[in-house]
Structure 1
């Protein structure tokens, strides 16, 4: 009975901490969803452009977000030890590294058109994507800073404020998109560029909101005092932890980005269908990402206390919850695909039937990778919580780049299976990552526990 209560307690604690984080991720996802839906209403060409632009932007954003993700376990570990100085220093250096990274990456946003052209994209789609990225790239700095401060707050289990700040950003984005894409409320009709301007405004609003909250509610950490002073030792620690996290994340994101590029080789309609289905699947993935964040926070706290039994029970419960959510969303993908896809299109669009036909098949394949995608997200969260990031990086690179991307190409083009083959390649890469990352966590931390330096 006590064991049952222990696991029930873990489930309750995970949901109390995790539901606001999941809500925050869904609100963040709503920002990209709003772009996709409104530009889908604007036209199929604009939808193809935003699909390509989002894939490109997201690769660089998620690479840079490794520093923000590194802040979460470091803050959780510092709090478990009662070390407020470590909390402050790790967050500050996360902010430093995020800004430096964004400045280095900015030229790749401005000159994205020739890069996308070299990747074999249709010239008109690449030009549309570049027009979006020249403006949206300016939002990389505030977006990454918001990520760092959200990690700092989430590690303190202040997940409600993370949720509400993200909801504010999503509402701002929807209103700005409605005005600037279509030219409503007296604003100019700017299409893709309007969506880009809305994105920058949204990220700036979110940054202002989270900074105000930190200053007013958490003055004891004195987070921004002498912010200009570097702390080389802590910067190196955040860098060593953050770079593998960023590379691990970008390995997965680049698998999806390459799948979008390959779908672009098949034409505008397959790329538009791919963009819709990826958006739907990304929405359900936010649940697993939120659970992965919970896994990082709770594993970091357990590590700080040296409580391996708590670590193992919590890991088992968060994995079971992820599995249950994946099963539910997979059923929805298979049983009601047409209503889900139709949300993203104008009912009178002449290409609607072709997009629906392709999208329904792709959504059935998306149901296949829900289980393994959730498993790898939770496994990565657990491994980050115990500050194990380097080996998982190599596992991810092999699973996504050595297995997933080649499988997409071979199945899609060598064997001639088209979009179905590309998506089966996605399933192969995600399955390999999910299996090997879970094995890494359980063998290293439960079967044969390994000590981690503080």
Structure 2
């Protein structure tokens, strides 16, 4: 029996309907998990913001530096997903091959993250090299160092979450991330402000809270996997110390292009911040608000797309080429549908959406509100192409096709999108609106190129 057969809701349903329900079974929990995870940084920023503008600026700087290694580690962590899903697609009872992939994925992030994190001993120097104020750089370094112990656990959660999605146990990570988000808020309250007799550690306290939350979330998933009936059959942690260097190298080989691909997109939107900063303070503030709306809309399609990658991997492992095309198409269509649920209201009522972030009655907010309202319709338009590119990209990962998509993404974002954004933003009267048109161009290019690549590799 193949994994495809075990996931079929009912034999009387047609293949497209079966695929839809199979995708939703893992996609909805994964999408909700992404939404909850997205809220963690928001909680941190709000609570750190109570300390004042300098700690908030230092936290923003520290998170940017921390995110560099987080992105680097996400590739190997996410590489486990297609390896596991293809193995289970070939044989739903396969345990050894799955165990090798998950175990070596955990080894890779567990060994690599601490070694690479040594560069954060020079975080203050790096911040000063980029022209950051000395007092902000001095605050950022201890915050980053407090975040570092949680990095391997945060990446380990991704490995275990992808394993659980492949065996259709995607709800457990959702429950764990909800609990750890609440725990993070409580620890922030205790350690940032020194409440209930705890020491007042401010930014360092926020970093410690995040690290502890990541570690507790990881061990909660370990406990669940060791207890849950289907998951424990894989014996992921039995003889965990046993090395498997060929599989270790395979995870690394599949993971590094994924890291670079994620980095291309993350760096593009961070670079746009600097473009907006050169245009004006109001433009930068409005960009952050509009980008937050776009990112919020993106979370559910991202979760559905990740589930689509799992489904594609299962079909590929089962050598079901029609199933591969069906799973990929369903992931793209559902991702578009999910993002449109947010994009359409944003396009129709941009000023109303902007009002959730800034008080409309405050005259000081008038200029920023007007800019946000002008940005949001463009952000809503590029949401369509964002959904297509992420679904196509995840489907290609499900096929272990990662190097060509990496190149296509780099071209779309850095040879097409960023030059257009810089030219229109800094060299034409469009100014800040021009930056958004450049971002739209990058996502259109990514959607067309990755969608075309997916069509080529899945056709008969």
TM-score normalised by the chain length of structure 1: 0.88
Partner deviation per Cα, 1:171-194 (whole Å, 9 max, x = no partner): 112222344445554555555444
> Which structure 2 residues correspond to residues 178-257 of structure 1 after superposition, within 5 A?
178-187=189-198, 190-217=201-228, 218-257=231-270
Deviation at 1:22, TM superposition (A): 0.6
Q: CA separation in 1, counterparts of 2:191 and 2:429?
A: 41
SS, match of residue 221 in structure 1: coil
Aligned pairs for 1:27-106 within 5 A:
27-40=36-49, 43=52, 46-82=55-91, 83-106=94-117
Q: Residue 65 of structure 1: SS of its match in structure 2?
A: helix
Q: For residues 252 and 314 of structure 1, do their structure 2 counterparts lie closer, same or farther at Cα, with a shift above 3 Å needed?
A: same
How far, CA to CA, are the matches of 2:354 and 2:215 in structure 1? 31
- The change in CA–CA distance for 1:287 and 1:419 in structure 2 (over 3 A counts) is same
* Contact preservation (8 Å) 2:279, 2:426: no
Equivalents in 1 of 2:48, 2:362: separation in Å? 13
Judging changes above 3 Å, is the alpha-carbon distance between structure 1 residues 398 and 233 closer, same or farther for their aligned structure 2 residues?
A: same
Which residue of 2 is the match for residue 394 of structure 1?
407
Q: Which residue in 1 is equivalent to 2:311?
A: 298
Q: Tell me the distance in 2 between the aligned counterparts of 1:138 and 1:405.
A: 34
Q: Residue 71 of structure 1 contacts residue 151 of structure 1 at CA under 8 Å; is this kept in 2?
A: yes
- Tell me which residue corresponds to 2:329: 316
Secondary structure of 1:387's aligned partner: coil
**Are residues 1:363 and 2:376 paired?**
yes
Q: 1:179–1:187: 8 Å Cα contact kept in structure 2?
A: yes
Matched, 1:21 2:30: yes
1:427 Cα deviation after fit: 1.7
Comparing 27-36 and 3-12, the one that deviates more? 3-12
Q: CA deviation at 1:164?
A: 0.8
- Cα distance, 1:352 vs. partner? 4.3
Worse-matched range after superposition: 65-74 or 362-371: 362-371
Partner of 1:134: 145
Unaligned runs of 5+ in 2: 1-10
**Conserved in 1, the CA contact under 8 Å of 2:69 and 2:117?**
no
The residue that corresponds to 2:271 in the other structure is: 258
Distance 2:51 2:285 in 1: 13
Distance 1:61 1:440 in 2: 27
Residues 284-314 of structure 1 deviation map (CA, whole Å, 9 limit, x = unaligned) = 2111111111111110110011111112122
Gaps of 5+ in 1: 450-454
| 1:59 Cα deviation from its structure 2 partner | 3.2
Structure 1 residues 232 and 166 mapped into 2: Cα distance closer, same or farther (>3 Å)?
same
Counterpart-to-counterpart distance in 1, 2:128 and 2:73 = 24
The more displaced of 295-304 and 357-366 is 357-366
Which sits farther off after the overlay, 89-98 or 108-117? 108-117
Query: What secondary structure is seen at the aligned counterpart in 2 of 1:228?
Result: coil
Q: Is the 8 A contact 1:47 1:272 kept in 2?
A: no
Q: Residues 238 and 311 of structure 1: is their aligned pair in 2 closer, same or farther, counting only changes over 3 Å?
A: same
Q: CA deviation at 1:364?
A: 3.1
* Counterparts in 2 of 1:6 and 1:157: CA distance versus 1, 3 Å: same
Deviation at 1:360, TM superposition (A): 3.2
Aligned residues: 446
Deviations 1:310-330 (A, max 9, x none): 121222222111112222211
TM-score (norm 2): 0.87
